[in-house]
Amino acid sequence: MLRFMFVGDSMTIGSAGEHTWRYWMWRHLCATHGAPFKIVGPRETLYDKATEAPTSYEYAEPDFPRRHLAGWGEGWQHLTPLIADAVKADRADILLVSLGLIDLGFYTNAEQTAANVARFVAEARRANPRVALAVLPVIPNVRAEDDPDFATEVARFNELLAKTVADLDTSASALLLASPPTEYDIHLDTYDGTHPNEHGERKLAAAFAAAMWEAWGLGGPPD
pLDDT of residue 209: 98
Domain count for the chain, please give it. Answer: 1
Would residue 221 count as lying in a domain?
A: no
pLDDT at 182: 85
Q: Express each pLDDT in 50-85 by its tens digit.
A: 999 999 999 999 999 999 999 999 999 999 999 999
Note whether residue 222 is domain-resident. Answer: no
Question: Minimal CA–CA distance to 6: which of 30, 41, 38, 37?
Answer: 41
Instruction: Please give the model's pTM, rounded to 2 decimal places.
Output: 0.97
- How much is the pLDDT for 75? 98
Q: Cβ neighbours of residue 37 under 8 Å, at least 6 residues apart?
A: 1, 2, 3, 4, 29
Question: Which parts of the chain sit beneath pLDDT 50?
Answer: none
User: 75-100 as b/e, with b when 16 or more CB fall inside 10 Å?
Assistant: bbbbbbebbbebbeebebbbbbbbbb
Structural domain contains residue 114: yes
Report the pLDDT value the prediction gives residue 60, as an integer from 0 to 100: 96
SS3 52: coil
Query: The domain spanning residue 67 has which CATH number?
Result: 3.40.50.1110
22 in a structural domain? yes
Cα–Cα distance for residue pair 210/223, rounded to 1 Å: 10
Residue 135 has a CB neighbour count (10 Å cut-off) of 24
Q: Quick one: pLDDT at residue 71?
A: 98
CA dist 201 and 197 (Å) reads: 6
pLDDT at residue 102, rounded to an integer = 97
pLDDT score, position 134: 98
Query: Domain span at residue 137?
Result: 2-216
Rounded Cα distance between 61 and 30, Å, is 15
